[in-house]
């Protein structure tokens, strides 16, 4: 699977760790993140990765900032992007099963490295259920309601 990754300065080290982890699992990784740990603005980098998922260039996306929340907000502003701010495995699993989330955000300051890998595995391995959930996803993107 081709996966877009991005982070701000707070998530720089986690992004590097998660890139290596994804590569070790056999995924292709496209990095849209900041070039170093200098202070930067998370929306810039989160949106770059989200656009790659939105366009189909990448199948999924992984974002990292201090809490995971800010960068998920910037990604979710784009049509067709459903980025889950990963706080626990159940939320991640249900976001895939019911919401067909196509991006995950992780908080480098609030989630340990092993937990981040576990949440990422859950995100990558959980399928979308479809059915009634597909109708609801269509409603999320419906501009007439």
Enumerate the known binding-site residues for D-ribulose 5-phosphate: 8-9, 66-70, 99, 109, 132, 136
Residues comprising the binding site? 8-9, 66-70, 99, 109, 132, 136
Q: Cite the active site residues.
A: 65, 98
| Residue 104 three-state SS | strand
For the chain, state the CA radius of gyration: 14
Segment (H or E) for 73:
helix 69-76
Nearest Cα to Cα of residue 50 among 14, 13, 76? 76
């Amino acid at each position: 699977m081709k996966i877009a990754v991005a982070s701000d300065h707070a998530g720089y080290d986690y992004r590097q760790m998660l890139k290596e982890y994804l590569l070790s699992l056999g995924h292709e990784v496209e990095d849209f993140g900041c070039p170093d740990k200098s202070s930067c603005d998370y929306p810039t980098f989160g949106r770059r990765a989200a656009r790659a998922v939105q366009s189909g260039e990448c199948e999924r996306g992984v974002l990292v900032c201090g809490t995971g929340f800010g960068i998920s907000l910037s990604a979710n502003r784009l049509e067709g992007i459903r980025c889950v701010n990963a706080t626990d495995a159940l939320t991640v699993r249900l976001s895939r099963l019911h919401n067909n989330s196509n991006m995950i955000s992780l908080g480098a300051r609030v989630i340990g490295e092993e937990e981040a890998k576990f949440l990422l595995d859950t995100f990558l391995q959980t399928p979308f259920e479809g059915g009634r959930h597909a109708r609801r996803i269509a409603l999320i993107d419906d501009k007439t309601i």
